[in-house]
Structure 1
Amino acid sequence: MNTSLIICLVIFALTIISFIWGKLTMATTSIIAMLLLVVTGCIDAGTALSGFANTNTIVMATMFVVSAGFSRTQMVHKLSQMVGRVSKGSFTKVLAGYVLIIALLTQFIQSSMACFSIVFPLACAMCDELGFSRSKMIFPIGIVSISTVSTLPLGQNAVTYLTNNGLLESFGYTDYAFKMLDLMIARLPSLIMIILYAIFIAPKFAPEKPVIEISDVAGKSSSSQKSLSNFQEVSGYVIFFGIILLLLTQSFHNIDTWIFTTAGAALMVAFGILRPADAYSAIGLGGMVLLYVGMLALASALTATGAGEMIGNAIVGMLGGTHNGYLIGLVFFLAPFILTQVMMNVAVMNIFNPIAIVTCQTLGCNPIGPLCLVMIGSLSAFMTPMATPTVPMVMGLGGYDQKTLFKMGWLPSILMCIVNVGWVMTAFPAFP
């Protein structure tokens, strides 16, 4: 075990302890962790600072500005009134509406952050308008945006099965092959379960009041501004819904997301919908951007030093030579699920896909189920802010600290494990 790997694991452990301890803000902790990783040589300065230029970081920051501008328009107020009348003041009905909308969006937009960014301004404004707790609303829609991405074979996901078949061929394991609908069949029960959980159960575990200072989408100073002119009002609608349209049609125009979200943010200020000071305030919303940048550095270090792969191999080593299909499935769901809480999901899949194929090849079992579970586990990162930019947004907007996130996340984690392992290894048995 090399020195860099040990140092990386120690910094990682101290970061988690600081998150739970709560004496420092999570943004402060993540930046300190990033600096320690550079000073100790786990990563170089270029890798550490690349998080500031990461396209997800830019999209996150600029969507905060766009959302802050949109929240100043009258549409949010009018929509809130309409939903209030339709729902007759029912929090569950309002939440169900947003959960279903975001579950639909995630089938067309392959980014949980983009989908969450579309919905959270409306959800936050609705809570403020109708007197609901934001803390009860944000986690349910956040977990749906993360866990349901690309369940149906639409867009890029329609050809994911070909990528998996290519992996199997590269290992010379051609006895089995994915069909186009296999991934949808594997993930559909989980999608239904997480939607029902988000609507009916998740709010019961969420705090009534924010645990940490909640982030204000509109910015505290916006209330002192004069109302928008007709031109500014219409411009706000065009910018916000134009970005949504571009997100929905990205597979056709192939314009990078950060380009049109940055353009939208600039136009919000150029047209006077937001003052420059409010735009700067929105970009720094709750320290979420700094938190994400620091966590990108830590995830890079875990990958570069081999710490992530070491953890993965150790977990899979528990399998031994078992021929119990459900135990095999359990390991290949749990291992990526645990690791994806602290590493980027793509990196986790790249670690475990080869391990799953080689293990199944050695055991002579069907790799379809284990590979499906690797994907499902890797796309279920909602317990820490390290794996996906959506989680820092959820934490800031809902006012959650790390302990609260664990309290809200343990039950859906168990349910996802039971539902996914039970269903997938029954639909695609290891030893047919």
Structure 2
Amino acid sequence: MKEKIGLILGPILFIIFYFIPSVTGLEHAPRAVLAVTLLVATWWITEALPIPVTSLIPLILLPITGGTKEEVAASAYADPIVFMYMGGFIIALAIEKWNLHKRIAMNIISMMGANSNRIILGTMIATAFISMWISNAATALMMLPIALALIKEIKEAQFLKPQSANKFSKSLLLTVAYSASIGGLATLIGSVPNAVFAAVAKSSLHRSVSFAQWMLFAVPLTIILLTALYFILTKWLFKVEDANSVSSDFAKKALRDLGPMSIEEKLTGLVFLLVSILWMAGNVLPDSLHITDTTIAMFGAVLLFLIPAKSKKGGLLVWDDMTKLPWGILLLFGGGLSLAAAFEDSGLTKWFSGLLGVVKPLPIILIIIVLTTAILFLTEVMSNTAVSNMLMPVSIGFAAAIHADPFIIMGIVALSSTCAFMLPISTPPNAAVFSADELEMKDMVKAGFILNIVAIIVISVFSYFWLPIAFGL
């Protein structure tokens, strides 16, 4: 029903806003961009067509309607940020192909030892760290079998009383879901909205956001949210009284089953480490080298094809592995950036600036809190990629209306649209852990609502106070 409504509603909105100028009073070009945006946003939200297919519509309709030139609409699909994300995806494929992600997770859990709360902490750290480099959906799907095996092991060994074991199960599964989302906040490739932030900043504001700059801003925020998550789950909602009776031998057994690191794992790990160091050191590299986050990502990706594997023919990656690359996400990027470029080129951003001027009298911190709350709860029922692609261009005009730096509003959009914790439909990690039949809806709603409130406070404070410092505004 949602898809059918969207399929009809999208064209209706397009026709009203494009063919009836008096509705907005806009000139032809910005009116065309607004009409195309409403059509695309409606189809993104309702998934009337597959999201990657809808993401191609700006390439077709923006030139035809006169919203912007074909060159402007098309060039966004080849934006450097798209290729940075592609490089990150390719590196993630190699990590998964050679089981390096599982070894990292099991080592962290093994090192944390020796009671149920420590296992939850280890799982949290492992999930969040992996999610910094791999999509939150892939991270959750990788960690879910590990969590379920831990739950089974603890229940069968009767380490905990039945009531405590039940609390541990719920806490561990929610840890996987929430840590996968929170960990993605920390890097530009960890979450789609983060990369949209960097891309729109470059295309619309002509301001670069480096990998290191984003981490300087977002890593402290991520650590605070993870700390809050740990205490909410283990000390408040699902407190396990006999926590000390559990060991982490399961992780050590899993590492024994994996055996010694293969040469392919070691080489993949070295490439991953090299790329990570170059990303984080990007600010200190001389500009004359023209080394960017995108070139670093693609260098790492190509290197994985050049380095030969010992146990299989070809390199650490072969072209057949690219069938697993999420091409749809790259098209989604392109569609969002195409709309953002058209916003700027047509002057639609200035119109939004005037429209949103009514909130100017309010204190900036109050505006930030209200905006963070609205976006965070909106993304509970909408895709975070749809929310960020829809609101990121608008946020530039909104910032102008309230005389704030655009980065502050864009940062709120990027962070808030990733933090959806209340419902199984909110994020792929939530849906994945809910499918395990260990959680009730009320468990996720209660824990998610509390974490939402914490996220609103942390994101608002960080966006207002720390973001200007981290980005040197």
Q: Deviations over 1:294-327 (max 9, x none)?
A: 11111222232233332233222244x56x6765
Name which of 260, 266, 270 aligns with 2:302: 266
TM-score (norm 1): 0.58
Does the CA-based 8 Å contact 1:140-1:199 persist in structure 2? no
What residue is the counterpart of 1:240 in the other structure? 272
- The answer as to 2:286 corresponding to 1:256 is no
Question: Offset of 1:28 from its aligned partner?
Answer: 0.7
Question: Offset of 1:419 from its aligned partner?
Answer: 6.2
Does the CA-based 8 Å contact 1:63-1:265 persist in structure 2? yes
Q: Distance in 1 between the 2:264 and 2:409 partners?
A: 47
Q: Distance in 1 between the 2:330 and 2:68 partners?
A: 20
Q: Distance in 2 between the 1:241 and 1:396 partners?
A: 27
Q: Distance in 1 between the 2:35 and 2:344 partners?
A: 15
- The answer as to 2:376 corresponding to 1:341 is no
Q: Distance in 2 between the 1:9 and 1:15 partners?
A: 10
Does the CA-based 8 Å contact 1:348-1:378 persist in structure 2? no
Matches within 5 A, 1:287-298: 287-298=328-339
What residue is the counterpart of 1:176 in the other structure? none
What residue is the counterpart of 1:69 in the other structure? 94
Does the CA-based 8 Å contact 1:232-1:273 persist in structure 2? yes
Question: Offset of 1:236 from its aligned partner?
Answer: 1.3
Q: Distance in 1 between the 2:316 and 2:70 partners?
A: 37
Does the CA-based 8 Å contact 2:128-2:182 persist in structure 1? no
Partner SS, residue 71 of structure 1 = helix
Question: Offset of 1:196 from its aligned partner?
Answer: 5.1
Q: Deviations over 1:244-303 (max 9, x none)?
A: 11112112225212222212212222222122111x2243x1611111111111122223
Partner SS, residue 341 of structure 1 = helix
Question: Offset of 1:60 from its aligned partner?
Answer: 0.9
Matches within 5 A, 1:74-113: 74-85=99-110, 86=112, 92-94=120-122, 96-98=124-126, 101=129
Partner SS, residue 415 of structure 2 = coil
Q: Distance in 2 between the 1:243 and 1:148 partners?
A: 13
Q: Distance in 2 between the 1:378 and 1:424 partners?
A: 10
Question: Offset of 1:27 from its aligned partner?
Answer: 0.6
- The answer as to 2:47 corresponding to 1:22 is yes
Q: Distance in 1 between the 2:278 and 2:124 partners?
A: 25
Q: Distance in 1 between the 2:81 and 2:428 partners?
A: 17
Q: Distance in 2 between the 1:79 and 1:96 partners?
A: 12
Q: Deviations over 1:25-82 (max 9, x none)?
A: 1111111233211221212222222223211110111211111112233533333333
In structure 1, give the amino acid aligned to 2:412: G
Q: Deviations over 1:154-207 (max 9, x none)?
A: xxxxxxxxxxxxxxxxxxxxxxxxxxxxxxxx99997676445665779xxxxx
Q: Distance in 2 between the 1:197 and 1:123 partners?
A: 19
In structure 2, give the amino acid aligned to 1:380: L
Q: Distance in 2 between the 1:101 and 1:261 partners?
A: 18
Q: Distance in 2 between the 1:23 and 1:354 partners?
A: 33
Does the CA-based 8 Å contact 1:239-1:264 persist in structure 2? yes
In structure 1, give the amino acid aligned to 2:273: F
- The answer as to 2:71 corresponding to 1:46 is yes
Structure exhibiting the larger radius of gyration computed from Cα positions: 2
Question: Offset of 1:96 from its aligned partner?
Answer: 3.1
Q: Distance in 2 between the 1:238 and 1:188 partners?
A: 23
Q: Which sections of structure 1, spanning at least 5 residues, go unmatched?
A: 103-112, 150-185, 203-226, 358-366, 385-393, 401-406, 428-432
Q: Distance in 2 between the 1:383 and 1:100 partners?
A: 14
TM-score (norm 2): 0.53
Does the CA-based 8 Å contact 2:124-2:179 persist in structure 1? no
What residue is the counterpart of 1:108 in the other structure? none
Does the CA-based 8 Å contact 1:61-1:289 persist in structure 2? yes
- The answer as to 2:323 corresponding to 1:281 is yes
Question: Offset of 1:83 from its aligned partner?
Answer: 3.5
Partner SS, residue 97 of structure 2 = coil
Distance 1:301 1:131, change over 3 A: farther
Does the CA-based 8 Å contact 1:135-1:399 persist in structure 2? no
Distance 1:40 1:412, change over 3 A: farther
Does the CA-based 8 Å contact 1:330-1:421 persist in structure 2? yes
Alpha-carbon RMSD = 4.9
Q: Which sections of structure 2, spanning at least 5 residues, go unmatched?
A: 1-25, 150-171, 189-216, 234-258, 309-314, 379-385, 420-425, 433-444, 467-473
Does the CA-based 8 Å contact 1:4-1:41 persist in structure 2? yes
Question: Offset of 1:415 from its aligned partner?
Answer: 5.8
What residue is the counterpart of 1:387 in the other structure? none
In structure 2, give the amino acid aligned to 1:37: L
Does the CA-based 8 Å contact 1:98-1:141 persist in structure 2? no
Matches within 5 A, 1:2-13: 2-13=27-38
* Count of matched residue positions in the alignment of Structure 1 and Structure 2: 325
Distance 1:59 1:24, change over 3 A: same
Q: Distance in 2 between the 1:39 and 1:84 partners?
A: 55
Distance 1:56 1:95, change over 3 A: farther
Distance 1:304 1:335, change over 3 A: farther
Does the CA-based 8 Å contact 2:412-2:460 persist in structure 1? no
Partner SS, residue 56 of structure 2 = helix
